[in-house]
Amino acid sequence: MVAIWKSSARSGALLCAVVLGSSVLGACGSESGADQASESTSAESSTTESPTETPTETPSETTPAEPATDPANGLPVCADVWVDGLDLPTDYTACSDGGTAVKPEKKMCGFGSPMIIHADRYYALRGNRVNDVGDTATSEQFQSALAACQA
């Protein structure tokens, strides 16, 4: 397996996806009919009880809100998209800053997806976490990520 990881990032990513996919799928079909019946009975009895505590999380804390859209051009507002720790939308193509469309810089990765860079400060792969590194030109984190991406 070590040889697979060293051979290419693409093979590693594929192997990771296969391993994660099979473990997730394996967990789905493990219930027996008896387990399902007992869960059904307990679910019926618990639906008549009123909850004693209210949830402390709001939906916005568990699911990031969609970025605001600039009415001038229909693009998401850059300040709402490029937030450290949030996921870059999978369909991201550009954003709007004060009514002006801002297209990202792209660096192609060895596995076929581009690394998206915004304002020489943020970077992410579509559908993945946004990283704020201050300055991509001097950030060791960014340089390391870019080298791994392009390997």
Computed over every residue of the chain, the mean pLDDT equals 73
pLDDT of 137 over the 80 cut: yes
Identify which of 10, 15, 34 has the alpha carbon closest to the alpha carbon of residue 109. 10
0.85 exceeded by pTM = no
Helix (H, G, I), strand (E, B) or coil at 143: helix
The per-residue pLDDT for range 113-125, each reduced to its tens digit, is 999 999 999 999 9
Report pLDDT for 54: 52
The per-residue pLDDT for range 9-56, each reduced to its tens digit, is 433 343 333 333 333 333 333 334 444 444 444 444 444 454 555 555
> Do residues 82 and 119 lie in contact, with contact meaning Cβ atoms separated by under 8 Å?
yes
CB atoms within 10 A of CB 61: 9
Helix (H, G, I), strand (E, B) or coil at 111: coil
Detail the DSSP E strand segments found in 18-145: 95-97, 100-102, 105-108, 114-118, 122-125, 131-132
